[in-house]
Amino acid sequence: MNRLTPLPREELAEFEPLFALVEANMGFLPNSMRIMARKPELLRGFGALIAPVLGPGAVAPELKQLVAYVASVASGCRYCQAHTAHSAHRAGSSDEKIAAAFEFETSPLFDERERAALALAADAATAPPAVSDAHFEALRKHFGEDEILEIVAVIAAFGFLNRWNDTLATELEDSPLSFAREGLAASGWEPGEHGQADSDPADA
């Protein structure tokens, strides 16, 4: 259960334009944002940061979400794992590719470009980061510096989200919870104490 209570949406009229944009992109409104709204300046700042990180850029949305997913798996945040897998699916990634995301080094579903990005995500999300110059040598074979910056920005933004949601045990919303249960079960995903939804579909 949430360690801090999300504020009711009806009390957050100021943020409706942001919430509508998030819902359009994700298909739901994250509980994490309604918790951040307890300090409006924080939610405003987070919205200003995450929009250019995950918005249109030089790196395709599908790859950004796969990078976020692998980083979240490496970090251990199940809430963000469910969110990013769900978002990768919405961005066009197949269920098979999402399920094999941590086998990116050997799976034929991934090309060398994706492998370079996901290797960085897996090793940058550990504490301390296990990143070397070799990661960037591999990246530069496929990406320009502006693209590499976008990839690092995704990993860094989810470093914040992984710690925020895992620390607060943010309750997982129905849509990403259902997706994770169906699509990630083979890879060992379980909701755990940080992944239960407000109204768990399994209890319906």
| 31 assigned to some structural domain | no
Q: How many domains does the chain have?
A: 1
The pLDDT value recorded for residue 1 is 82
C-alpha dihedral sign at 109, 61, 54, 176: negative
| 17 assigned to some structural domain | no
H or E stretch covering 68: helix 61-75
The pLDDT value recorded for residue 198 is 45
Q: Which of 198, 200, 185 is nearest to 78 (CA)?
A: 185
| 108 assigned to some structural domain | yes
| 130 assigned to some structural domain | yes
The pLDDT value recorded for residue 194 is 53
Question: Where in the sequence is the domain holding 91, given as residue range(s)?
Answer: 61-203
What's the CATH code of the domain at 172? Answer: 1.20.1290.10
| 4 assigned to some structural domain | no
| 175 assigned to some structural domain | yes
Tens-binned pLDDT, residue by residue, of the chain (204 aa): 889 999 999 999 999 999 999 999 999 999 999 999 999 999 999 999 999 999 999 999 999 999 999 999 999 999 999 999 999 999 999 999 999 999 999 999 999 999 999 999 999 999 999 999 999 999 999 999 999 999 999 999 999 999 999 999 999 999 999 988 887 766 667 666 555 544 443 332
- Strand intervals (E) in the chain: none
| Alpha-carbon span 170 to 165, nearest angstrom | 5
| 30 assigned to some structural domain | no
Query: Model pTM?
Result: 0.90
| 97 assigned to some structural domain | yes
The pLDDT value recorded for residue 170 is 95
The pLDDT value recorded for residue 44 is 97
